[in-house]
Amino acid sequence: MTSQTLREARKYEEATETIVTETERPVFHLSARVGWMNDPNGFSLYQGKYHMFYQYYPYATYWGPMHWGHAVSEDLLHWTYLPAALAPDKIYDRDGVFSGSAIELPDGQQLLMYTGVALTVASDGSRREVQTQCLAVGDGTDYEKYEHNPVLTHEDLPEGFSRYHFRDPKIWRQCDGSYRAVAGSLDEEGSGQLLLFGSEDAFSWHFIKTLAANHGRYGVMWECPDFFSLDGKWVILTSPQDMLPEGFEYHNGNGTLCLIGSYDEEAEEFTEECNQAIDYGIDFYAPQTILTPDGRRVMIGWMQNWDTCNLKASHEKWHGQMSLPRELSIKNGRLYQQPISELKSLRGEAVVYRDVIMEGRCTLPGVYGRKADIELTISAVEGEPVYQKFSVRFAQNEEYRTLFSFRPHECVLKIDRKFSGSRRAIIHQRRSLIPGGENGSIKLRLILDRYSVEAFVNDGEQVMSATFYTPLEAEDISFAVNGRAKADLTFYPLA
């Protein structure tokens, strides 16, 4: 039975979505139907379609009591909104239906596993959010919350684990038909950890063990975990809160963390081998992955960040968009990301430039726009000293610009959106180390979709994502070199 709260949300989104005109949204990035969007939830394949749910507050462009928004797609680029899937309407989730995941059950139903949030008064009189794990079952549009919710509470956890930070279950089905889920939590010391749970039937759950522990290294609470095998390794993705910076790898605040290691499936023991950030840009958080029918591991993240989500368009009608779907792989112990190959189907006619010697400021005829796929290879001019700095500027006119600049002598690539129209004192720049860039060679693939850029560096060894809400008439693209550089560029407008 659909609750009053969910009915109201569905009525509201249907009535108000038309206020957002087509050009006020990204084209192939999923954005909030109305109101506010954060984390991807329940990213899954169900009955031949990709489903994406998301943390959603339809009534305003800021965070509020969380619902689950819902959209479906056949190619992960064109999305159709469905009615909101879940609302905070039960005693155990009355203050929020937080992040979670989805799978198809053997009986053909879709199972959602999420965190229910209920504010309670703690013994010291403070109001605290108790977080529990809950289920809902449905047909791809309508969902019924499980009558025995919550299925996991802090009572199921070892002594001392937090009842207030226990969230974001990611569920999967194992080859033997049993189920596993991993969720974020805080241990006795208040340090983040990821907990592994098991179930024979997907409804009755028990704690198995701590799958990975922070031990105070990367931030505090670890949010939104995912866990999967990839190219002979095992990968944990998580989003730590309250991080401290570490060189160019991790930055202050909410960040992303990828742990690569091995997994003893019998003993269910993960051994960490190395770690890295997932995205080195400004806006990326809480990614989830799926395995496509043809065996690709594809990741989508929230292309925003808690520390920077005050970046708003004026007269904003929606807030929050997802990243591009990205195909993942592991090479030499690193996570690589590439835009999903389906993106090529949106490409218009190519504008191609080869061996262009750039010096000072320049533009290239036919290269402009806010929806584009740009392949750009820069190198030093043979027989000449390596250039000092190369920049590519976009979303540009006399007033605005956002840019990437590369300084080979420092091996640093920087995004700068200071002049994107933002009126907030938040982070507008971030730097990433590009090992091996000393000789001036760097390969960039830039994807623009009206209000964002994602840069895939050197075939996806690093990725930097950022949003900007620059007026759409700023659509110039230009280049600047201190010194001389050689450029190969292929530009595709995107439909």
Q: Catalytic amino acids?
A: 39
CB of 347 to ligand FRU, least distance (A): 32
Asked if 167 contacts 194 with a C-beta cutoff of 8 angstroms, the reply is no
Q: Select 134 or 413, whichever has its Cβ closest to ligand FRU.
A: 134
13 binds ligand FRU (CB under 6 A): no
Segment (H or E) for 5: helix 4-16
Rounded CA separation 492/477 (Å): 13
179 binds ligand FRU (CB under 6 A): no
CB atoms within 10 A of CB 441: 18
98 binds ligand FRU (CB under 6 A): yes
132 binds ligand FRU (CB under 6 A): no
Asked if 34 contacts 24 with a C-beta cutoff of 8 angstroms, the reply is no
CB of 445 to ligand FRU, least distance (A): 27
Residues 6+ apart with CB under 8 A from 490: 350, 351, 352, 353, 374, 375
Residues 6+ apart with CB under 8 A from 19: 34, 317
Burial 163-182 (b: 16+ CB within 10 A, else e): bbbbbbbbbebeeeeebbbb
Asked if 167 contacts 223 with a C-beta cutoff of 8 angstroms, the reply is yes
286 binds ligand FRU (CB under 6 A): yes
CB of 325 to ligand FRU, least distance (A): 19
Q: Select 38 or 405, whichever has its Cβ closest to ligand FRU.
A: 38
- List the one residue from 31, 55, 193, 199 that touches ligand FRU (CB under 6 A): 55
Rounded CA separation 353/350 (Å): 10
Tokens of 128: 């605290």
| Ranges of H-type helices in 40-169 | none
Rounded CA separation 357/485 (Å): 6
- List the one residue from 10, 31, 38, 113 that touches ligand FRU (CB under 6 A): 38
168 binds ligand FRU (CB under 6 A): yes
Q: How many residues bind ligand FRU (CB under 6 A)?
A: 13
CB of 165 to ligand FRU, least distance (A): 9
CB of 82 to ligand FRU, least distance (A): 20
- List the one residue from 6, 66, 102, 130 that touches ligand FRU (CB under 6 A): 66
- List the one residue from 224, 447, 464, 487 that touches ligand FRU (CB under 6 A): 224
Q: Select 96 or 408, whichever has its Cβ closest to ligand FRU.
A: 96
Rounded CA separation 123/125 (Å): 5
CB of 253 to ligand FRU, least distance (A): 12
CB of 167 to ligand FRU, least distance (A): 5
Rounded CA separation 387/483 (Å): 5
Q: Select 86 or 477, whichever has its Cβ closest to ligand FRU.
A: 86
- List the one residue from 44, 61, 99, 379 that touches ligand FRU (CB under 6 A): 99
Q: Select 318 or 479, whichever has its Cβ closest to ligand FRU.
A: 318
Rounded CA separation 337/459 (Å): 8
Residue type, 344: K
Burial of 322 (0-12, 13-18, 19+ CB in 10 A): buried
Q: Select 81 or 164, whichever has its Cβ closest to ligand FRU.
A: 164
CB of 71 to ligand FRU, least distance (A): 17
- List the one residue from 13, 223, 373, 461 that touches ligand FRU (CB under 6 A): 223
39 binds ligand FRU (CB under 6 A): yes
300 binds ligand FRU (CB under 6 A): no
Question: Which three-class secondary structure state does DSSP give residue 442?
Answer: strand
- List the one residue from 31, 44, 110, 115 that touches ligand FRU (CB under 6 A): 115
Q: Select 129 or 375, whichever has its Cβ closest to ligand FRU.
A: 129
Q: Select 39 or 187, whichever has its Cβ closest to ligand FRU.
A: 39
Rounded CA separation 458/481 (Å): 19
> Which of these, 188, 178, 154, 172, lies nearest to 229 by C-alpha position?
172
- List the one residue from 29, 70, 154, 167 that touches ligand FRU (CB under 6 A): 167
Query: Binding string to ligand FRU for residues 321 to 340, with x set by CB under 6 A, is what?
Result: --------------------
Q: Select 55 or 462, whichever has its Cβ closest to ligand FRU.
A: 55
Burial of 320 (0-12, 13-18, 19+ CB in 10 A): buried
CB of 270 to ligand FRU, least distance (A): 21
Residues 6+ apart with CB under 8 A from 308: 282, 283, 426, 427
Rounded CA separation 468/395 (Å): 9
Residues in the site for ligand FRU, rule: CB under 6 A?
38-39, 55, 66, 98-99, 115, 167-168, 223-224, 285-286
